[in-house]
Amino acid sequence: MSAQTALWLVFFGIIGIMLFLDLGVAHRKAHVIKVKEALTWVSIWIAFAVVFGVLINIFIGKDESLEYFTGYIVEYSLSVDNLFVFVLIFTYFAVPAKDQHLVLFWGIVGAMVMRIAMIALGVALLERFDWIIFVFGAFLIITGSRIAIGKEKKVDPEKNLILRLVRRVIPVTPTYEGDKFIVRKAGKLMATPLLMVLIVVETTDLIFAVDSIPAILAITTNTFIVYTSNTFAIMGLRSLYFALAGLMPLFRFLHYGLAIILVFIGAKMIASEWYHMETYISLVVVIGVLAASVILSLIFRAPPEEAAEHAVIHTPQTDPHAPKQP
């Protein structure tokens, strides 16, 4: 058995055991996730990610370990934008706080499955068509530029095509049915609004993955490194949401940092045909830009009116406990 095969087994073992402990033990009973509990889970996932990176360094090599950590940090930082989207979705659909963890749990499990196919496709394209590297690089530069000028992707649940199609096929209950996604009423299967929220979360992650996966493929095309770093990052994202969602308005310059990172990686990807940049340089740049954007955000805080504007996303509903319906 090769070292990489053994680490694949270790990786899936860690993910499987942690998912079981998360949903089957720690969160068997739905409850509101407090900041302390969320930070504990964030720390656990980061610890596992770091340990796994060390194992890669020991059993595969230093270069692969650097690629893994760079990919992990890039994906984690780009995923921060998802926190704002989660707030929007949960507020829009008035999802009970105690059920938000369940939605994010299955949403991230679904994201793990979808990203296997996306990563495999991206690697196959890069290996088959050399010119794709310029397309990916230009795409990242354009995306970073749009984020910098405030034109990043907007999410409107009512315009979600898949959600609209599902609503036409499956009847939806008018209210939430506890933590159930599907219920049977009068002998008829019906979806609950919680399933609609899960569909929006899944499709939204797919949209964001279009940005993040090319960014990691600019660092390495090793499927093992790309997928493991990507997965550890998104697994910690759920807990990060509960820990930091209320604090995100404080990081007013973070999106500029993410924009710079995307432009840098895109330019690096295009230039790779003529110049090879060492992975440790990319890692230093990514960490430095993130640190600078966070420090500047803490030094130059947003005015009270700006922070208030972004702290709460209002929902158009008159009844805060009624889910949004078509």
Residue 326: predicted pLDDT: 40
Residue 170: predicted pLDDT: 84
**Sole residue written with tokens 């910690």:** 236
pLDDT in 10s for each residue of the chain, 326 residues: 789 999 999 999 999 998 888 777 666 676 777 778 888 888 999 999 999 999 999 999 999 999 999 999 988 887 776 776 777 788 788 888 888 888 888 888 888 888 888 888 888 888 888 788 888 888 888 878 887 776 555 666 667 777 888 888 888 888 888 888 999 887 888 999 899 999 888 888 777 777 778 888 888 889 999 999 999 988 887 778 877 765 666 677 877 888 888 888 888 888 877 877 787 888 888 889 888 988 888 888 766 555 544 444 333 343 334 455 44
Q: State how far the Cα of 163 lies from the Cα of 169, in Å rounded to an integer.
A: 10
Residue 32: predicted pLDDT: 75
Cβ distance 197 to 60 under 8 Å? no
pTM for the model: 0.80
CB atoms within 10 A of CB 109: 15
Q: State how far the Cα of 175 lies from the Cα of 324, in Å rounded to an integer.
A: 9
Residue 58: predicted pLDDT: 95
Structure tokens at 280: 């440790």
SS3 state of residue 326:
coil
Residue 313: predicted pLDDT: 38
Residue 212: predicted pLDDT: 77
Q: State how far the Cα of 286 lies from the Cα of 288, in Å rounded to an integer.
A: 5
> Which is nearest to 292 in space by CA: 253, 265, 262?
253
- What single DSSP character describes residue 288? H
